[in-house]
Structure 1
Amino acid sequence: MKTNAIGIFDSGIGGTSIWKEINTLLPNENTIYLADSKNAPYGPKGKDAIISLSIKNTEYLIKQHCKLIVVACNTATTNAIDYLRANYNLPFIGIEPAIKPAALQTKTNSIGILATRGTLSSALFSKTSTLFASNIKVIEQHGDGIVELIESGKLVSDEMNSLLKGYLQPMIEANIDYLVLGCTHYPYLMPLLIKLLPKHVKIIDSGEAVARQTKAVLEQHNLINRSHLKLNNSFFTNSKTKVMESLLGTNYTVNYLDF
């Protein structure tokens, strides 16, 4: 079991930002990444559909003998992870927007959250926001269209720039000093966001925290890979392989999987 892969799935290619953090912290672990880009984004689909898609992804990774599954999608985590944990006998790592550190550290008492509709409308997001951010101003913004542009290879484009300007303006006017990224696609926007936001605004995503939690759970279950056999990092998508390869870099090949 220790040499079995960590399974990672997302509604698309954005979760590769999480894979990079896990691979950096746990370079000795084998990984299998599954991108359900054909169905991206999950946000507008509704809870039942999101659970159904998450089951499909989970069962594929279980068939590959994964020892742990990272749900590298905020929307899938907030809508489906309770079901997955209740119905499958292996550890799951979820992702949710990093509201807590932003709420605790804000000096202007105003933070922004850029996330999908599925995440912002979820019960888990509402609970976390109420728990940690009830006494500060929270500017929530649905990131409609962002995932679609990234999935179609238009990360750096006039359309993306225009979209982000419109989404960030109300946050800038509200004097936010932290922007929380609530979708695993969004860390790839970092260079654009830095250009568009005032210099004092800090940007937070969940990637490093997810990697640390993955390591902690592997240690807890005695599943850390201490073998020195050749590593295998496999990437699969049911859409365009070249777009994911452009995010991963030239060292990795992405395989098309009809699922």
Structure 2
Amino acid sequence: MTNNNPIGLFDSGVGGTSIWTAIHELLPHEDTIYLADSKNAPYGQKSKEEIIALSIKNTEFLLNQNAKIIVVACNTATTNAIKELRAKFDVPFIGIEPAIKPAALNSQSHTIGILATQGTLNSELFHQTVEKYQDTKIIEQIGHGLVTLIENGEIESPEMNQLLHRYLEPMIDANIDYLVLGCSHYPYLIPQIQKIVPPRVKIIDSGEAVAKQTKKVLEEKVGLTNNPLKGKAIFYSNANPKVLSDILKNKYEVVQKDF
């Protein structure tokens, strides 16, 4: 089964490029279209209804570009809207959820931390996941302000460092040995986080798992490309494209488009 249409991805901004990178590394021949809805970031502060409406709009944009599968490269959009998206559209969706399972199963201290948006931590899907691991103490922390700083290109700013210290130090004091990054923006903070947490704390995100699931669904339901060359990547942003270009190290063209 062959399908040369592109993989579509969307996020509330630039953070989902961490997911795009994992997919592109695993499936280098696939064409991809990435949509950064930075104008409406962060999603984590919005109501469920707003998140669903934005997710529908983003999906329609990608389907109009002939996307064969949609990767919701945003934890908040996945936990609040993927059920509605799957009911509305006849295309496979890949979601992204905080990697609580591997952290909880491998934790030696039976205490893990999760840094995520308010929208993810308040969602029904997140609470259902947490309930499965009642033997593990899960310390939840809303990452207020982190996405906005990343979207503004201030990853290494003093304000970012201050916020990370405030959010992470109580987790360290509680003896976590795993830190789950529950937002696709947050992997870009790993260098700063590693300077704060002790070496015993393992940091995990969902990128690799999402990439593997995308490949599996393409193989089983949609079809992989038969293109022998490196796949084309198109990036769209409805805000300042420079931040997205900088995150991508200026290797790809970013098209500014209002949607």
Give the TM interval when normalised to the shorter protein: over 0.9
The alpha carbon displacement at 1:251 in A equals 1.7
| Matched AA of 1:58 | T
2: distance between equivalents of 1:221 and 1:130? Answer: 31
The residue that corresponds to 1:249 in the other structure is: 249
| Matched AA of 2:104 | A
Coordinate RMSD, CA, aligned: 0.9
The alpha carbon displacement at 1:249 in A equals 1.5
The residue that corresponds to 2:105 in the other structure is: 104
Matched, 1:3 2:4: yes
The residue that corresponds to 2:166 in the other structure is: 166
2: distance between equivalents of 1:221 and 1:39? Answer: 32
Post-superposition CA distance 1:135-176 (Å, at most 9, x none): 111110000000000000101110000000000011011000
1: distance between equivalents of 2:122 and 2:203? Answer: 22
Post-superposition CA distance 1:224-258 (Å, at most 9, x none): 00123563200000011111111111321111011
2: distance between equivalents of 1:231 and 1:186? Answer: 26
Written as runs of structure 1 = structure 2, the 5 A alignment for 1:122-141 is: 122-131=123-132, 133-141=133-141
1: distance between equivalents of 2:236 and 2:222? Answer: 27
The residue that corresponds to 2:196 in the other structure is: 196
2: distance between equivalents of 1:107 and 1:229? Answer: 44
TM-score normalised according to structure 2 size? 0.98
Matched, 1:182 2:154: no
Matched, 1:212 2:218: no
Post-superposition CA distance 1:185-228 (Å, at most 9, x none): 00000100111001100001000000000000000014100123
| Matched AA of 1:152 | N
Q: Where in structure 1 do 4 or more consecutive aligned residues deviate above 4 Å?
A: none
2: distance between equivalents of 1:154 and 1:229? Answer: 35
Q: Secondary structure at the match of 2:8?
A: strand
Written as runs of structure 1 = structure 2, the 5 A alignment for 1:107-122 is: 107-122=108-123
TM-score normalised according to structure 1 size? 0.98
Q: How many residues align?
A: 258
The residue that corresponds to 2:48 in the other structure is: 47
Written as runs of structure 1 = structure 2, the 5 A alignment for 1:14-93 is: 14-93=15-94
| Matched AA of 2:12 | S
Closer, same or farther: CA 198–58 of 1 in aligned 2, 3 Å: same
2: distance between equivalents of 1:190 and 1:82? Answer: 30
Unaligned runs of 5+ in 2: none
2: distance between equivalents of 1:251 and 1:182? Answer: 27
Q: Secondary structure at the match of 1:33?
A: strand
The alpha carbon displacement at 1:44 in A equals 1.3
2: distance between equivalents of 1:142 and 1:195? Answer: 20
1: distance between equivalents of 2:43 and 2:222? Answer: 33
